[in-house]
Structure 1
């Protein structure tokens, strides 16, 4: 039996901020080595997986995001050493010499020897990118929100070449929807998987001026043209969603793990734009929890001098 908690005793062994694949993997691994954790998540566990109708790069036989999310949530809810704090979000993460303090929006402060921050990313809007000029008005929906049945036989203007383009097409292989994908040079490599799909018209641009449902394009050669669609959807990628406090950010807003305080471990999409995949999220969350375990017991890991 653990001794009773005193004012100087941490609330738990590990605080996990973020309940996506990386955060859930961290909490599950922590429990497997006997560490207690508190997982803080403002919405549902693995909520972003529900936006991925088709999966083709995860182990375990899951082919849809909602199916995988359900499996992860059920397993974590049965993990006795993990306490779920759902419907709550962190407003600050502070690292000290002997512990980390995570402050919740209610003002409650949680303490632990280490924290894993896996808050992922949030969607970019037209105002966040320099290559789009758009009127102020109602927020445009993201491509993952497009209803395939309603979109059947229609033409959709998609702003940005991010990977949900491929996800939409894989999830609906027989759809008659036509996608006009306008994207900047930085997205060129992202469009490779759908470049030869006859349902997609690629529109590489320097700039786009939006007047829904039409857009005025300045193409890479300096020419202008206007395109019209039945609806407009966003596909601009994501921006890091790190909580305020002592996290160290790079120029893009991501939080490189090696730059953080030793008691703050970063996992999942928050680390870098280069490794934003479900499988890499699982691995990074698991690794972060093990690093906390080794550190708490003064055990060396492979990167310890």
Structure 2
């Protein structure tokens, strides 16, 4: 495929076949798949490629033999940097994303404008804090670290209060099978199904919660009052508190359509804005599904641009 150009024939560095917003697994898969069918792309990422993968100490549900996030992130990053048709814009973020009749325009934080016939938006999610969570009352300025930031030295011989029952708890336990720790896991009814994988670990005490009040503290230790689902109160104390509250979607401003909690359902979007990865929904937030949706998004742009049928074995 020829490089997009001005009518004069000069190469236009602000225009490409596909804009990819977000450099996680879904965005990287979109750019790599686009290149495999001859489409040029510009991938925009404010941090480093696959930044969240580096924080996953253990993997057990990803093909390819990778057993931790760092190994997978390193492999993906090397492949993207070796993809000639993909230009990577690191350290940049999109301040506005607009969909027009025949193209998409992305404005960067530098004021530059990039355009393409289609954009894959795969900006993913970020950690949810106590003040984002209706079943928790906490000091307004309180910010706690997610559990995936805790190492063996943070947990050994200590009791940790974990807010929420999200799946990083299971990842933490598998990554540190011999660490002697006690996790007090307070979680709402919406997280009941997520706790199945950790309930048999003797280091875990599950605390189904109706509400939890975190008390102010200047010390590393944490104290709280838990109201269980029978209406009974329980005082809690721990050496430290961590988060497993799940994530909040992080979409760029502009023409994306968001649901009441901030996710961007793919079927609700402008035809030229294709949402991939964790930004779609909390139901399929897995590395494997992100990779697949990113690849599918690039192929959707490819087939639609060329008005090709989507069937067959090509």
After superposition, the Cα gap between the structure-2 partners of 1:35 and 1:180, relative to the gap in structure 1 and judged at 3 Å, is same
Map 1:118-267 onto structure 2 (within 5 A).
Answer: 118-211=122-215, 212=217, 213-267=222-276
CA distance in 1, matches of 2:299, 2:181: 46
Aligned length: 302
CA distance in 2, matches of 1:44, 1:2: 26
CA distance in 2, matches of 1:261, 1:55: 35
TM superposition score normalised by structure 2: 0.93
CA deviations on 1:126-169 (whole Å, 9 max, x unpaired) are 11111101113352111111121232010000000000000000
CA deviations on 1:241-279 (whole Å, 9 max, x unpaired) are 111111111222111111111111110000011000000
Residue 5 in structure 1 maps to residue 6 in structure 2: yes
Residue 59 in structure 1 maps to residue 63 in structure 2: yes
After superposition, the Cα gap between the structure-2 partners of 1:11 and 1:221, relative to the gap in structure 1 and judged at 3 Å, is same
Residue 284 in structure 1 maps to residue 293 in structure 2: yes
SS of equivalent to 2:283: coil
After superposition, the Cα gap between the structure-2 partners of 1:225 and 1:64, relative to the gap in structure 1 and judged at 3 Å, is same
Query: Which residue number corresponds to residue 46 of structure 2?
Result: 42
CA deviations on 1:177-222 (whole Å, 9 max, x unpaired) are 1100000111111101001110000011100000251110100000
CA distance in 1, matches of 2:214, 2:306: 56
CA distance in 1, matches of 2:60, 2:51: 18
CA distance in 2, matches of 1:286, 1:132: 38
Query: Which residue number corresponds to residue 101 of structure 2?
Result: 97
**Deviation at residue 92 of structure 1 after TM alignment:** 1.1
CA distance in 2, matches of 1:177, 1:117: 40
CA distance in 1, matches of 2:106, 2:141: 36
**Deviation at residue 118 of structure 1 after TM alignment:** 0.1
**Deviation at residue 6 of structure 1 after TM alignment:** 4.1
CA distance in 2, matches of 1:47, 1:7: 40
TM superposition score normalised by structure 1: 0.96
CA distance in 2, matches of 1:70, 1:298: 36
